[in-house]
Structure 1
Amino acid sequence: MSHHASQAQSAYSPLYFLASLGAGGLTVTFFMYLMFWVPHPGRPVPVFEDILAAFASGGPTMQAAIIAAWIGIAFFAALNLKSLGWNLAALARFRQTDAYKALRSSNGETTLLAAPLAMAMTVNALFIVGLVFVPGLWSIVEYLFPMALVAFVLIGVWALSLIGDFLGRVLSQGGAFDMTAHNSFAQLLPAFALSMVGVGLSAPAAMSGQTLVVGVSLVLSTFFGIAAVLYAVIAAITGIAAMLQHGTARESGPTLMIIVPLTTVLGILFLRQDHGLHTAFSVHDAPGETMIFLARLLAVQVLFLLLGATVLLRQRYFDSFVFGSERSAGSYALVCPGVALSVMLHFFINKGLVTAGVIAKFGAGYWSLTALAIAAQLLMIGLVLRLNKQHFGRPDHPGAAIPAE
């Protein structure tokens, strides 16, 4: 990030944490190459040794895919950390301002949840970096799981305390919440943060061999997963009511598609729980059930992508905030749905269609569907680089910058 006064510095919003989140999400999209293309017998995820073995024995296509994954994971994990560090420093400065006090007494208070959301994503991204680049990590992984659970619980407590501040304020005194400014899905951000904590807490359920660790992981991830679902349902229903009345807030248009990352994250949470139930408690799911579960999630995602695209195009959002001179921190919310769709497609193709025997792995049908996941990923890489230049580069027209809501 540059040191001169960029748009992000002069009009700071906690939504800039979404820049860190997007980079973390792209780290995951590159890990999908390794997860589903590199053989990892006896382990739920590929580790350094598996990847090296596949690179040594694989053909040029496999080697190219592994090199792309290595570069992508290293680059976007570094960008994720850099952006997180920048945001934490900027947020500390922002807390001293009158703008922060105003934020704490408005609907926008929930934008503060972007911080624990990004933090939880960073822990997930660092775990991927460990798996991919650290030799021998799997031999000590059982010691890491309790530490990971503690880290995610602490982030979860941070998120819950921010939600408590907000709900305590708006539910204890009348008129504290502005329904006319609720005309978007911006209020689903707390649900997204809770789901990200939940998916982190569910990882040991899928990977640990200790029944106690799996059990604790299942119970804790269920709590945060259910909290996310309840919050999302209430915020979405009230948000739709406000949008029908007042139209969608133009700057918050991208939030219409927040349902997409929410369903991907919750989908992975439930898949990890299923795996834990299967290995530790002999609860078995048929491949066809997993396929239809993922198909239903994908259906929800496509519908909300269509809804979001319809509104954004009508409001000419891209003309102004992506390709134009106007700037809004909320435009980083566009990255999450594309990233989430890419990841969900990988899961649907591999854990759904291939496992159920609908298509053959590495066949023509497989690659034509996987091409959609890679296309979404490449589009989002382009978007992240474009937005970073726009928001963190030297401002072309200082006058054109608008403060983010």
Structure 2
Amino acid sequence: MPFRLPAMSERYTPLYFLAALGAGGLAVTFFLYLMFWIPHPGQSVPVFEDIAAAFAAGGLGVKAMIGLAYAGIAFFAVLHIRLLIWNLREYAGFRRTVAYSALRSGNAETQLLAVPLTLAMAINVGFILGLVFVPRLWSVVEYLFPLAMVAFLAVGGYAFLLLGDFFGRVLTKGGFDCARNNSFSQMLPAFALSMVAVGLSAPASMSVTPLTAGISYIASSFFMVSAVILGAVALFLGFRSMMEHGANEEAAPTLWVAIPIMTVLSIAMLRQSHGLHVHFADHAGAAESFTMLTNMVAVQVLFGLFGYVVLRRLGYFARYVWGDLRSPGSYALVCPGVALSVLLQFYLNKGLVEVGLLAKFSPAYWAITAVALVLQAASVWLVLRLNAKHFAARETAPRVAAAE
């Protein structure tokens, strides 16, 4: 990791939490190799023992795949933790600056939701690290699920405290600048709540205890509904402002924020559906999952095309990715590639294969997998490119706080 993480003080922005978020998301993409390509009977996710058995029995290709998955998970988990610790340290100092007070008085106050968003991702990354590196973890997992739910609820509670401050201010005193809301930056709260929801939904799918699964289902449903409502409001407000004023150049990557939201909500709904089937006699089958995933991928493709048109016309990639301009909002470009790669893997394995449209490990299966892997590789390159650009140079001040 050939870059340093400097002290920024007032030059810092909470959008740098998205750097840690993207690294955590990439760790998840490598975990999906193990999730979908090796058998894991007895539980819905692979654990250390499943991986060790597959490695011992597999050929050179299987061993290479597992080695790559482990290397990817380890590298990006360490990068995620490193960036998270740096962000928490910088954020603590930033809270004592005049810039922080200014942030709390404008549209960009919702940038603070990047903090619980990334904390929720950190819990998910920790769970993955436990699954793949800790032997016999599954023997105590029923004790870990309640602890994980408490952690996610704490993060969700923190998110609602931040939202309470924001909406309490703008809905009593006004001051929200609709003209400067010409992006989808106000959908960041919906992203944060949906990340909490997907974490809370895990016990619904994996726990063998009906009470744990039921509490997981109820809690995750609350955060899913909250994310959908806030996301819909922000979507229409942002679209209306863009139609009048054009898209904000630096915040243009937020036009793709719906893509990761759709991914985490889709996974949450799959987990909930599995829990209902196992514990509560609901017999929704593969066709229902296929339909839901098809619709979600369609939404992602639509927003992907829409965002690409705007970003290309603004020349965003030439200026902020390939060029010399730096904006912390550029890290918002990582999540859509990661999210689309993840959902394609779920769509392929839990949708197309489950309904019998494709045979697992057939040529068509690997062709679609290749698309997901290309998106993953592009996201890896983008993370490394942005990290070098933002942290390798001596002067790291962003031009403008992008979420405005």
Give 1:282 deviation, angstroms: 1.5
1:40 counterpart residue number: 40
After TM superposition, the runs of 4+ consecutive aligned structure 1 residues lying more than 3 A away are: 1-6, 398-401
Could you say what secondary structure the match of 2:46 adopts?
coil
Q: TM-score, normalised by structure 1?
A: 0.97
Give 1:49 deviation, angstroms: 0.2
Structure 2 CA distance for aligned equivalents of residues 94 and 340 of structure 1: 30
Contact in 2 for aligned 1:183/1:249 (Cα 8 Å):
yes
2:399 counterpart residue number: 402
Structure 2 CA distance for aligned equivalents of residues 130 and 163 of structure 1: 32
Flag structure 2 segments of 5+ consecutive residues without an equivalent.
Answer: none
Contact in 2 for aligned 1:325/1:401 (Cα 8 Å):
no
The 5 Å alignment of 1:2-401 reads 5=6, 11-174=11-174, 176-395=175-394, 398=395
Contact in 1 for aligned 2:5/2:86 (Cα 8 Å):
no
Give 1:5 deviation, angstroms: 4.5
Give 1:403 deviation, angstroms: 3.6
Task: Name the amino acid aligned to 2:268.
Answer: L
Contact in 2 for aligned 1:4/1:394 (Cα 8 Å):
no
CA offsets 1:100-131 (integer angstroms, 9 cap, x no match) = 00000000000000000000001001100100
Structure 1 CA distance for aligned equivalents of residues 10 and 212 of structure 2: 46
Contact in 2 for aligned 1:26/1:76 (Cα 8 Å):
yes
Change (3 A) 1:237 1:401: closer
Change (3 A) 1:294 1:4: closer
Contact in 2 for aligned 1:199/1:265 (Cα 8 Å):
yes
Structure 2 CA distance for aligned equivalents of residues 154 and 13 of structure 1: 23
Flag structure 1 segments of 5+ consecutive residues without an equivalent.
Answer: none
Give 1:393 deviation, angstroms: 1.1
Q: TM-score, normalised by structure 2?
A: 0.97
CA offsets 1:47-78 (integer angstroms, 9 cap, x no match) = 00000000111122211111110000001011
Structure 2 CA distance for aligned equivalents of residues 219 and 257 of structure 1: 29
* Percentage identity across paired residues of the two chains: 55
CA offsets 1:218-250 (integer angstroms, 9 cap, x no match) = 000000000000000000011100000000000
Could you say what secondary structure the match of 1:388 adopts?
helix
Change (3 A) 1:252 1:265: same
Pairwise CA RMSD:
1.4
CA offsets 1:11-62 (integer angstroms, 9 cap, x no match) = 2110000001000100110011000001001111000000000011112221
Contact in 2 for aligned 1:24/1:121 (Cα 8 Å):
yes
Contact in 2 for aligned 1:185/1:256 (Cα 8 Å):
yes
Give 1:10 deviation, angstroms: 6.7
Contact in 1 for aligned 2:36/2:349 (Cα 8 Å):
yes
Task: Name the amino acid aligned to 1:161.
Answer: L
Could you say what secondary structure the match of 2:305 adopts?
helix
Structure 2 CA distance for aligned equivalents of residues 138 and 15 of structure 1: 35
Could you say what secondary structure the match of 1:360 adopts?
coil
Structure 2 CA distance for aligned equivalents of residues 102 and 401 of structure 1: 16
CA offsets 1:343-383 (integer angstroms, 9 cap, x no match) = 00000000000111110000000000000000000000000
Task: Name the amino acid aligned to 2:401.
Answer: A
Contact in 1 for aligned 2:4/2:391 (Cα 8 Å):
no
Give 1:170 deviation, angstroms: 0.3
Contact in 2 for aligned 1:294/1:348 (Cα 8 Å):
yes
Give 1:135 deviation, angstroms: 0.2
Could you say what secondary structure the match of 1:73 adopts?
helix
CA offsets 1:251-306 (integer angstroms, 9 cap, x no match) = 00000000000000000000000011011111111212211210110000011011
Structure 2 CA distance for aligned equivalents of residues 4 and 356 of structure 1: 48
Task: Name the amino acid aligned to 1:171.
Answer: L
Structure 1 CA distance for aligned equivalents of residues 353 and 199 of structure 2: 26
Change (3 A) 1:242 1:142: same
Structure 1 CA distance for aligned equivalents of residues 68 and 129 of structure 2: 14
Aligned residues: 401
Task: Name the amino acid aligned to 2:187.
Answer: L
Could you say what secondary structure the match of 1:96 adopts?
coil
Could you say what secondary structure the match of 1:250 adopts?
coil
Contact in 1 for aligned 2:12/2:397 (Cα 8 Å):
no
